[in-house]
Amino acid sequence: MKTKTQLKIGGKVFKVEYIKGLADYGSTDFFRQTILIKEDMTDDNKISAVLHEILEITNEANDLDLKHQTIQTIEANLFQIFKDNFS
């Protein structure tokens, strides 16, 4: 997997940090514009976690008020589409 160190999302640059031993798969620090991803997991899980955080950022930035379960469902479906069609 090509590891990205930053992503442009909604006109903002978010730094991506891969942290060993992070409690969750991923999280976002909106104030520091930083996405934290658990380093010690599979590449598929890292991609899935980054995609999930992108959706969380989109949700927050656009006041979509999506429930966490909805974000998880969208992420799982998009992951499957990208995995099956772009890899």
pLDDT (tens digit per residue) in 51-66: 999 999 999 999 999 9
Radius of gyration of the chain (CA): 13
Distance CA 51, CA 56 (A): 9
Q: Kindly list the domain boundaries of the chain, sorted by start residue.
A: 6-86
Q: Taking residues 22-39, what's their average pLDDT?
A: 97
Tell me the percentage of the chain whose pLDDT exceeds 70: 98
Distance CA 72, CA 76 (A): 6
| pLDDT for the residue numbered 4 | 79
The count of C-alpha atoms lying within 13 angstroms of the C-alpha of 32, restricted to the half-sphere facing its C-beta, is: 10
Residue 68's closest CA among 35, 39, 27?
27
Residue type, 67: K
pTM of the model: 0.93
